[in-house]
Amino acid sequence: MIDGGGGPSWPGDVLIVGDRIARLGEGLRERLPDGLVIADLDVIDCRGHAIAPGFIDAHTHDDAIVLRDPACLPKLSQGITTVVTGNCGISLAPYATREAMPPLTLLGADSFRHATMSEYRLAVQAAQPALNVAALIGHTTLRFAAMTDLTRAASSDERAQMARLLDACMAQGAHGLSSGLFYEEAYAAPADEVTELARVVAKHRGVYATHLRSEMETILDAMHEAGDSAFAAGVPLVISHHKCAGPANWGRTRETLPLVEALAKRQQIALDVYPYVAGSTVLREDLVDGVIDVMLTWSDAYPEFGGRMLADIAAEWSVDQKTACRRLKPGGACYFQMNEEDVERVIAHPLTMIGSDGLPHDRHPHPRLWGAFPRVFARYWRARGLFTLEQAVHKMTGLTARNFRIVDRGVLRANAMADVVVFDPATIADTATFEAPISASLGIHRVVVNGELAYAGGDPEPRTLACAGRMLTHKSA
């Protein structure tokens, strides 16, 4: 049994009664040998397997998919039982409009329909997803709601409007604020626009997560900006999908991680990361440098090109890659913009949590959507030995629950909520690849969400067995 706290594992059983863990312990073994027990339902034989808290995906864009496809198989099949939504500045709530919006490509949504956090909560409850949802509120979404021209800083009236909306969302159970200052809809926002909003979050004891203004040349400035905003506001900071992007910046985690440690001396700070050297986001010419490999994940104009390399498409068209990128937009891509040593340094860092950053609506998605969590075990624990098995689990459970203030989850203990994953440490592995990204992982034996058996690996067809997820409410007390 691995309890999620990072300490050594121990043999034992888990007794679940209703939606909670009733007891843990070796005393249960005599009656029910090596079993994870689900009262009134099933005894799961866990011999040779690890029993751990269900994984918490620290970084997702699952706001819309939990409504549209509540089975959530890409996540459930990795052992994930809770997703943190609303990252990178984009959340579905709080904004509703009848206007046809430019597609919210990260979310796969084509419209905003939830004017309040409560409306989004009701929608999630009605959809009954297989996973628990902990929602962040996006700064960019607040800008959509309060502003007409996103290419400038918010006025003081607009700031007040955003603060009011955010305050209501926090009161209605949101876990915090996210920003995506890198993206054009938020880039014009000065640091103090974000700091003011972070102060609202501080009042509710929430968290601030940010996709930094830059992950390239000026990443240290961007980290200082994020650190200062969070420190001034008095909120814990999460730096999203930490990376040093672009060949010119490879190796610079030797600068960024010491900066994180320096900031950690004055404020609560954490990182999340996905275990790949390729990032993925919308098609952007500034990310196409003709040097790194770029793989198309979707294109409205050329849907059949999903999964092809941009260089090949450009060659076929006899144009340069930036021109090809322009023709393919709107679309998405995987950018092979990272260096393996940097990825390893970030994953191994004790302040780092695992977040998939999966993009569930892409036609040919980055494999992190289906494979991120098992890949951490297969590649970075088993093959590379960067940390212990218990530390790997901690990065997916206890650490994440603590950073996002998700109570009673991410841990195995009596009276905690019964989110549990049973997996085989010897065989757990991702099977999703850049070529074939839609593929369930190996070694996930059983997944239990709120006391219900939600997934069983080894079935002929990976499928969701129960949809027992909940909208999680952040408690400010």
**Binding interface with Cu ion (CB under 5 A):** 87-88, 357
Contact pattern from residue 209 through residue 248 relative to Zn ion, giving x for each residue in contact according to CB under 5 A and a dash for the rest:
--x-------------------------------------
Q: How far is the CB of 99 from Cu ion (least distance, A)?
A: 25
Phi first, then psi, for residue 451 (nearest 5°) are: 85, 0
Q: Give the binding range for Zn ion (CB under 5 A) out of 121-129, 205-213, 324-332, 381-389.
A: 205-213
> Could you say which of Cu ion, Zn ion, none residue 77 binds, taking C-beta under 5 to 8 angstroms by partner kind?
none
How many separate helices (H) and strands (E) can be counted in the chain? 15, 21
15 close to 39: Cβ distance less than 8 angstroms: yes
Q: Give the binding range for Zn ion (CB under 5 A) out of 45-53, 82-90, 151-159, 431-439.
A: 82-90
Largest CA distance in the chain: 71
CA distances from 39 to 47, 346, 402 (A): 18, 40, 28
Q: Is residue 350 reached through a cis peptide bond, with omega within 30 degrees of 0 on the bond before it?
A: no
Q: What number of chain residues touch Zn ion (CB under 5 A)?
A: 2
DSSP string, 102-125: PPBTTTTBSS-EESSHHHHHHHHH
- Give whichever of 237 and 440 is closer to Zn ion, judged by the CB atom: 237
- Give whichever of 36 and 88 is closer to Zn ion, judged by the CB atom: 88
Phi first, then psi, for residue 269 (nearest 5°) are: -145, 145
Contact pattern from residue 159 through residue 198 relative to Zn ion, giving x for each residue in contact according to CB under 5 A and a dash for the rest:
----------------------------------------
- Give whichever of 4 and 355 is closer to Zn ion, judged by the CB atom: 355
Tally of CB atoms within 10 A around 44 = 23
Instruction: Compute the distance between CA of residue 58 and CA of residue 70 in angstroms, rounded to an integer.
Output: 19
- Give whichever of 88 and 202 is closer to Zn ion, judged by the CB atom: 88
Instruction: Compute the distance between CA of residue 270 and CA of residue 260 in angstroms, rounded to an integer.
Output: 8
Q: How far is the CB of 238 from Zn ion (least distance, A)?
A: 11
CA distances from 390 to 76, 78, 93 (A): 20, 17, 36
Residue nearest to Cu ion (CB): 88
- Give whichever of 239 and 351 is closer to Cu ion, judged by the CB atom: 239
Q: Give the binding range for Zn ion (CB under 5 A) out of 81-89, 186-194, 371-379, 425-433.
A: 81-89
Q: Give the binding range for Zn ion (CB under 5 A) out of 87-95, 117-125, 296-304, 413-421.
A: 87-95
> Could you say which of Cu ion, Zn ion, none residue 375 binds, taking C-beta under 5 to 8 angstroms by partner kind?
none
Q: How far is the CB of 138 from Cu ion (least distance, A)?
A: 10
Q: Which residues contact 142 (CB under 8 A, 6 or more apart)?
A: 94, 95, 162, 165, 166, 197
- Give whichever of 87 and 321 is closer to Cu ion, judged by the CB atom: 87
Q: Give the binding range for Zn ion (CB under 5 A) out of 131-139, 199-207, 208-216, 242-250.
A: 208-216
Q: How far is the CB of 138 from Zn ion (least distance, A)?
A: 11
Q: How far is the CB of 61 from Cu ion (least distance, A)?
A: 6
107 close to 90: Cβ distance less than 8 angstroms: yes
Among 88, 197, 444, 448, binds Zn ion (CB under 5 A): 88
- Give whichever of 50 and 189 is closer to Zn ion, judged by the CB atom: 189
Q: How far is the CB of 135 from Cu ion (least distance, A)?
A: 14
CA distances from 297 to 106, 180, 237, 303, 361 (A): 12, 21, 30, 9, 10
- Give whichever of 88 and 314 is closer to Zn ion, judged by the CB atom: 88
Q: How far is the CB of 66 from Cu ion (least distance, A)?
A: 16
Tally of CB atoms within 10 A around 10 = 11
Q: How far is the CB of 1 from Zn ion (least distance, A)?
A: 34
Q: How far is the CB of 71 from Zn ion (least distance, A)?
A: 25
- Give whichever of 290 and 330 is closer to Cu ion, judged by the CB atom: 330
Count of all residues that appear for the chain in the document: 477
Helix (H) / strand (E) containing 334 = strand 331-335
Angle, helices 219-233 vs 253-264, to 10°: value is 10
Binding site for Zn ion (CB under 5 A): 88, 211
